[in-house]
């Protein structure tokens, strides 16, 4: 059968038929608009700003409309988020999510450990964490499922491992993930065993030496640029050049600063050398809150709280004054660590959160512990959204739900800080991720979607074919879809069954432009009744019946 270009365009609008015949297209179509409308949803635009049961529209990865009485654009995928709560996507200020840890290699023993090569000494500030990003790393999904959409990530290593980057927790490649490269120079005040610098004092001395050498090298380069005659050409030094943006106050230094002593040493370096500082994964800053505030350092508090003391009523040991005093001091330290965020709030010091050393599964409970210890819910939300956006210079793009900002969102069925709250959707740069809702499935009675289904589409050009779904009985679904004309198979994505509702999507390419088709259908026995949404081309009814087993 021969089709004109007009017929081929109609096939695109028909969705399922079009993907099978896409290779026949003679003319590329314009990109399909990624448009979503979240309706009847409680929109927490920022701490203290809320729209009750409103509408939120997203188009091409940007928020375009927020409020009540908002018109739904034609062709939008409508998410009926009835009485759910939507927040700006959370921002992790200090993390290694998605960063591959290098394998330890056996190295030759150095003849002169007091003067090692920079790489052996951990001095590689020119390295870029982007080259260590793995988009398929499981930690990305784990953190995203909690509502985090952006993270500032750092490389592995000690002393001066390299440059941090701010990444999106989505994307199929490292380049797609990167929101801002070279976001900070990363440093740890730790040395190497048996190699200089190997003590904290040696590390501090080496830090000052490198910085001052960089200042001298930069000044000489500037002098040489003004008049090259009679001057020796400056030497190229990637280590020292990595400090130049720091010297110019264009790039901060991000230090891992868990303990009081580490923070005091970092602040001493900041005061001596006058460069901007970020303190990451802070765990013991409560005695230094006034000092931190006066320094102007930016802070990301660790979400890795010490474990709560569990009382064992069954165990009754004999009284022991020494043990009781030790347990009392331990309880006091745990209480202070848990109330640390509240202390920063009281002092009006902006702060974000860090997930670098905490298990993802513990994060919601730890935030609730901080709230129970005096941190307000508004301040907790600010530390996840507006504050890190401001601290990282991203407020024009992230941190709140306002028109023009990136569509980074988290949607929960109850207020996020409610102990029973579950995240249902996360959106990263306009890409929607739907999370499994095990409770709803159990309550609604999950149906069996497995088998081969013969489908038909009601559209100008018609369309029919096969949908084959495999269900392992543990909630894991896989499948393919074919068209009866070509029998070409395409894998199904985001395949889920929620109660009796089956949802999935699949992609095809019309020329150079990928198109995603979203399908939602209700299963009753061996019948399926639903529709396809083909972006701006419309919504088309679809029916299917399960084929008898052979």
Q: Average pLDDT of 451-457?
A: 89
Over 80: is that where the pLDDT of 509 sits? no
**Residue-by-residue DSSP string for 275-314:** --EEEEEE-S-GGGHHHHHHHT-EEEEES-PPPPPPP-TT
Instruction: Determine the distance from the C-alpha atom of residue 250 to the mean position of all C-alpha atoms in its chain, rounded to a whole number.
Output: 25
pLDDT tens for 329-364 read: 999 999 999 999 999 999 999 999 999 999 999 999
DSSP β-bridge partners for residue 351: 299
Q: Is 430 left (phi over 0), alpha (psi -120 to 50) or beta?
A: left
Q: Which of the pair, 244 or 504, is modelled with greater confidence?
A: 244
Element (H, E) at 382: helix 377-384
**CA–CA dist 1, 19 (Å, integer):** 16
Please list the alpha-helical segments (H only) found in 227-376. Answer: 238-241, 244-247, 260-273, 289-295, 321-338, 340-346, 363-372
State yes or no: pLDDT of 12 exceeds 60.
no
CA-to-CA separations, 207 to 153, 195, 239, 416, 502, in angstroms, rounded? 22, 15, 12, 42, 58
What values do phi and psi take at 505, rounded to 5? -140, 165
- Output the CATH code of domain 91-105+112-197+251-312+319-376: 3.20.20.140
Highest averaged pLDDT of the listed ranges 2-6, 12-16, 23-27, 110-114: 110-114
Query: What's the pLDDT score for residue 33?
Result: 54
> Given this model, what pLDDT does residue 111 score?
84
Average pLDDT, integer, range 503-525: 78
| pLDDT value of position 191 | 84
Selection from 225-234, 489-498, 504-513 with the highest mean pLDDT = 225-234
Structure tokens at 454: 């013969």
Q: How much is the pLDDT for 499?
A: 80
3-state secondary structure of 359: coil
Give the pLDDT of residue 104.
77
- How far CA 193 is from CA of 20, 161, 299, 399, in Å, comes to 61, 16, 29, 42
Given a cut of 90, whether residue 223 has pLDDT beyond it is yes
pLDDT tier for residue 427 given thresholds of 50, 70 and 90: very high
User: Which range (33-37, 134-138, 527-531) has the least confidence?
Assistant: 33-37
Average pLDDT over residues 29-43: 78
d(CA 300, CA 80): 35
CB within 8 A of 468, min separation 6: which ones?
A: 451, 452, 453, 479, 480, 481, 482
Could you tell me the two tokens for 322? 């020494």
If 0-12 CB within 10 Å is exposed, 13-18 middle and 19+ buried, where does residue 473 land? exposed
* Percent above pLDDT 70 for the chain: 87
For the structural domain made of 445-546, what CATH number should be given? 2.40.128.120
User: Is the fold of 91-105+112-197+251-312+319-376 the same as that of 445-546?
Assistant: no
412/385 Cα distance (integer angstroms) = 15
**Stretch 447-459: mean pLDDT:** 85
Q: How many CB atoms lie within 10 A of CB 411?
A: 25
3-class secondary structure, 416? coil
Beta bridge partners of 282: 301
For residue 197, what is the DSSP state? Answer: S
Instruction: Considering only residues 32 and 138, tell me which one the structure prediction assigns the higher pLDDT.
Output: 138
Q: How far is CA 380 from CA 108, 246, 282, 386, 419, in A?
A: 49, 30, 16, 10, 15
By mean pLDDT, which of 53-57, 250-254, 415-419, 433-437 is the weakest? Answer: 433-437
Contact 412, 84 (CB under 8 A): yes
Task: Count CB atoms within 10 A of the CB of residue 108.
Answer: 6
The pLDDT, as a whole number, for residue 512 is 55
For residues 257-277, give the mean pLDDT.
95
Distance CA 532, CA 30 (A): 20
Residue that wins the pLDDT comparison between 215 and 323: 215
pLDDT at 16: 41
What confidence category does residue 448 fall into, taking pLDDT thresholds of 50, 70 and 90? confident
Segment 30-48 shows an average pLDDT of 85
92 three-class SS = strand
Identify the residue with better confidence: 473 or 404.
Answer: 404
Residue bearing tokens 């919601």:
364
pLDDT tens track for 154-166: 999 999 999 999 9
- Whether pLDDT at 369 is above 70: yes
For the chain, the first-to-last Cα distance in angstroms comes to: 33
With bands split at pLDDT 50, 70 and 90, how would you rate the model's confidence at 319? Answer: confident
pLDDT confidence band for 549 (50 / 70 / 90): low
Residue 312 has pLDDT above 70, yes or no: no
What's the mean per-residue pLDDT of the chain? 88
- CA 54, 430, 280, 253 dihedral sign is negative
pLDDT of residue 497: 86
pLDDT for 21 equals 35
Listed by start position, the domains of the chain span 91-105+112-197+251-312+319-376, 445-546
Q: Is the pLDDT of residue 459 over 80?
A: no
The span from the CA of 506 to the CA of 217, in Å, is 55
């Amino acid at each position: 059968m021969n089709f004109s270009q007009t017929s081929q365009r109609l096939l695109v609008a028909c969705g399922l038929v079009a993907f099978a015949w896409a290779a026949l297209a003679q003319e590329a179509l314009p990109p399909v608009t990624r448009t979503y409308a979240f309706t009847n949803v409680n929109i927490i635009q920022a701490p203290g700003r809320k729209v009750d049961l409103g509408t939120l529209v997203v188009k091409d990865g940007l928020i375009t409309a927020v409020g009540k009485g908002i018109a739904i654009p034609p062709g939008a995928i409508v998410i009926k988020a009835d009485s759910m709560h939507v927040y700006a996507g959370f921002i992790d200020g200090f993390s290694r999510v998605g960063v591959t840890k290098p394998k330890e290699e056996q190295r030759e023993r150095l003849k002169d450990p007091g003067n090692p090569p920079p790489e052996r000494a951990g001095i590689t500030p020119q390295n870029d964490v982007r080259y260590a990003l793995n988009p398929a790393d499981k930690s990305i999904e784990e953190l995203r499922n909690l509502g985090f959409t952006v993270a500032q990530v750092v490389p592995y290593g000690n002393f001066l491992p390299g440059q941090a980057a701010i990444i999106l927790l989505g994307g199929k490649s490292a380049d797609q993930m990167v929101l801002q490269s070279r976001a900070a120079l990363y440093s740890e005040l730790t040395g190497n065993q048996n190699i200089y610098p190997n003590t904290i004092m040696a590390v501090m001395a080496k830090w000052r030496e490198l910085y001052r050498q960089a200042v001298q090298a930069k000044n000489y380069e500037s002098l040489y640029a003004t008049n090259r005659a009679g001057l020796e050409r400056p030497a190229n030094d990637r280590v020292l050049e990595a400090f130049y943006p720091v010297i110019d106050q264009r790039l901060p230094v991000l230090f891992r600063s868990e303990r009081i002593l580490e923070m005091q040493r970092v602040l001493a370096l900041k005061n001596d050398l006058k460069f901007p500082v970020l303190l990451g994964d802070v765990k013991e800053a409560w005695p230094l809150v006034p000092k931190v505030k006066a320094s102007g350092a930016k802070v990301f508090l660790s979400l890795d709280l010490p474990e709560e003391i569990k009382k064992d009523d069954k165990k009754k040991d004999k009284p022991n004054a020494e043990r009781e005093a030790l347990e009392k001091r331990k309880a006091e330290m745990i209480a202070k660590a848990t109330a640390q965020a509240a202390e920063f709030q009281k002092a009006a010091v902006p702060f974000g959160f860090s997930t670098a050393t905490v298990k993802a599964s513990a994060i919601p409970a730890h935030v609730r512990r901080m709230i129970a210890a005096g941190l307000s819910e508004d301040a907790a939300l600010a530390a996840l959204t507006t504050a890190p956006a401001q601290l990282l210079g991203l407020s024009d793009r992230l941190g709140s739900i306002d028109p023009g900002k990136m569509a980074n969102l988290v949607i929960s069925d109850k207020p996020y800080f409610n102990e029973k709250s579950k995240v249902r959707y996360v959106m990263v740069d306009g890409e929607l991720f739907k999370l499994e809702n095990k409770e709803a499935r159990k309550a609604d009675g999950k149906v069996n979607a497995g088998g081969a289904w013969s489908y038909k589409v009601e559209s100008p050009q018609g369309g029919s074919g096969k949908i084959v779904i495999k269900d392992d009985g543990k909630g894991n679904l896989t499948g393919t879809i074919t068209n009866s004309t070509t029998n070409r198979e395409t894998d199904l994505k985001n395949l889920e069954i929620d109660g009796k509702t089956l949802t999935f999507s699949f992609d095809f390419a019309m020329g150079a432009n990928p198109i995603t088709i979203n399908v939602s259908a209700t299963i009753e026995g061996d019948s399926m009744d639903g529709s396809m949404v083909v972006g701006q081309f419309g919504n088309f009814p679809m029916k299917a019946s399960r084929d008898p087993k052979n």
